[in-house]
Chain A
Amino acid sequence: MKMKTAARDFPILSRKINGKRLVYLDSAATAQKPLSVIEAEMEFYTKSNANVHRGMNTLSRMATEIYEQAHSKTAKFINAKGMQEIIFTKNTTESLNLLAYSLGEKLKSGDEILLTKMEHHANLVPWQQLAKRKGAVIKFADITIDGRLDMDGLASKAGRRTKIIAATGASNILGTVNPAKEIAKIAKDCNACSVIDAAQAVPHIAIDVKRIGCDFLAFSAHKMLGPTGIGVLHGREGLLEEMDPFLTGGDMISSVTLQGAEWNVLPWKFEAGTPNIAGAAGFGAAIEYLEKTGMENVEGHEKELLKYALKRIGEIENVKIYGPAKGPRVGVVPFNIEGMHAHDVSEMLDRHGIIIRAGNHCAQPLMHEMGIGGVCRASFYIYNTKRDIDALAIAIGDAKKVFGV
């Protein structure tokens, strides 16, 4: 598939913002959706809408098939063992909360949870709450000056008491891609469970959970061309079997008496209540779109855009770019204009039809570590082109002029 024409598949990209062509550079927040995803949801509602796993009728069978197929497609996409290892949640945040409750239940006072200073609040606050409930201790791996994970430090902080190591697969601010395989190995060596927050990784790089060897991996559909309201928790089958469910109620049980209940088989044991079936239909279409494109092409395209952006934006006077100069990095460019607040930059770029994110990006500890109050972030996906980056560069120049910096 040619990336140059990918934008045509995304209806929203033909609209205008403030009279200008929409230049969408905020895919790290949420990705735009191709027509095939929008149509898959519409088709579900127009042709197959019914509840899943209930009722012996044509519609329910169709809905169940669509819903289960989305699980199988997801399993194949990240090379998991099968559908039993794929739990659909609301989003990455819910996936991580599920873990903090169900996996965290076994923790005892004095047990350690090892995190990094690079985490999104979603992979920090649930563990903080768990630590409070259990009297566990949280330790943090540092980040290097150029924004990479201090792997030696991480390894040295893992030990006998470590029960969980949870780290981001790719930083939502810096774009740094962390060595998930090494992190999983460190966890394995000390008999701890490894958890990878892959919300920013799965949409942009080919992920193979067998190759990584992690115990758990969480991500969201909406950052990978799919609908909002549907996320994934991948877990190793044996571990999921041992864990108690997080949410309970309908669909997640096999038998119920007035005294108690027995749990359904995986993955349904962890999917209580009517799920987001239309979302699953759209998610399935999103995975198909990415497979047709080829994740190696997605990766290559973003790499090229990132290289161009770092040069083009980096050469503008008084613009500082953050993030690692070396090593793997997804298509995220964090920057600040000297003398301008990130919110003002974002507002000024909007006048040019350019959508970026500005602020602390749900990672206040990382911002504190970097010694900055806020940052602008331009992030790319398959529908972006060098022309978008040129537009960004021109708009930055204009913003500087208006603000006299």
Chain B
Amino acid sequence: MERELYSEIILDLYKNPPNKGRIENYSLEAGGGNPVCGDHVTFTLKIRDGKVADIKFFSSGCAISIASQALLSEMVKGKSVKSAAKINAQQLFEQLGNIIQTRQKCALLGLLVLQEGIARYEKNRKKKTSVKGIVV
């Protein structure tokens, strides 16, 4: 039987997303979106000793993109920045359930924005970094 696209986990994360908001005193701010569908997201991270001490995000988009961003924020919180940069699409899809091909872009929006932000933060020698307008 075909698995439900809007799984319990997606609907739960969409209705009550953890880590919603913005950290004013951030180490990294990464914002961007997909101009074709109009979805966009901004992550703010507090990074201490190479670890994501705190992360928040605010976004506008479909249930799949928001649920995926919420899940991603939970996955990286407390972990090293290096491990956050290594999360791949498959790991996200496995946790979210059945993401059909036409909606995979929605699920990957947050990951691509966050990882581009981390790359820029590393390049900036871990100084306070703000990247906006990342096009996915």
Contact = CB atoms under 8 A, between A and B. Distances in A.
Given A343-B62, A373-B38, A402 B6 contact: yes
B102 to A, nearest CB: 9
Nearest to B16: A404
A213 interface: no
B38 A360 contact: yes
B63 interface: yes
Given A373-B38, A403-B11, A341 B6 contact: no
A373 B60 contact: yes
A360 B106 CA distance: 15
Interface string A347-382: 110000000000110000001000001100000000
B5 interface: yes
Nearest to A339: B15
A359 B5 CA distance: 19
A52 B64 CA distance: 51
Contact of B37 (A347, A348, A359, A404): A359
A340 B103 CA distance: 16
B62 A341 contact: yes
B38 A404 contact: no
Interface in A291-344: 340-344
B37 A343 contact: yes
Contacts, number: 38
A343 B15 contact: no
Given A359-B37, A373-B38, A341 B63 contact: yes
A365 to B, nearest CB: 13
Given A343-B106, A347-B5, A348-B6, A403 B38 contact: no
A402 B11 contact: yes
Contacts of B6: 344, 347-348, 402-403
Contacts of A344: 6, 62-64
Most buried by A among B14, B38, B61, B103: B38
A343 B103 CA distance: 9
Interface string A386-405: 00000000000000001110
Contacts of B63: 340-341, 344, 403
Contacts of A373: 38-39, 60
A12 to B, nearest CB: 20
B15 to A, nearest CB: 6
Nearest to B60: A373
A20 to B, nearest CB: 14
A208 to B, nearest CB: 38
A373 B63 CA distance: 14
A373 B61 CA distance: 9
A42 B6 CA distance: 41
Nearest to A367: B38
A190 B61 CA distance: 45
A402 B8 CA distance: 10
Nearest to A404: B15
Interface in A45-83: none
Nearest to B100: A347
Interface in A151-165: none
A129 to B, nearest CB: 19
A342 B103 CA distance: 13
A255 B1 CA distance: 64
Contacts of A341: 39, 61-63
B101 to A, nearest CB: 13
Contacts of B39: 341, 373
B11 A374 contact: no
Given A341-B62, A343-B106, A344-B63, A374 B37 contact: yes
A14 to B, nearest CB: 23
A155 to B, nearest CB: 33
Interface in B7-45: 11, 14-15, 36-39
Nearest to B40: A373
Contacts of A340: 63
A343 B61 CA distance: 9
17 contacts: A341-B62, A343-B62, A343-B103, A343-B106, A344-B6, A344-B63, A347-B5, A347-B6, A348-B6, A359-B37, A359-B38, A360-B36, A373-B39, A374-B38, A402-B6, A403-B11, A404-B15
Interface of A: 340-344, 347-348, 359-360, 367, 373-374, 402-404
Given A343-B106, A344-B6, A374-B38, 9 more contacts: A340-B63, A343-B103, A347-B103, A359-B37, A360-B37, A367-B38, A373-B39, A373-B60, A403-B15
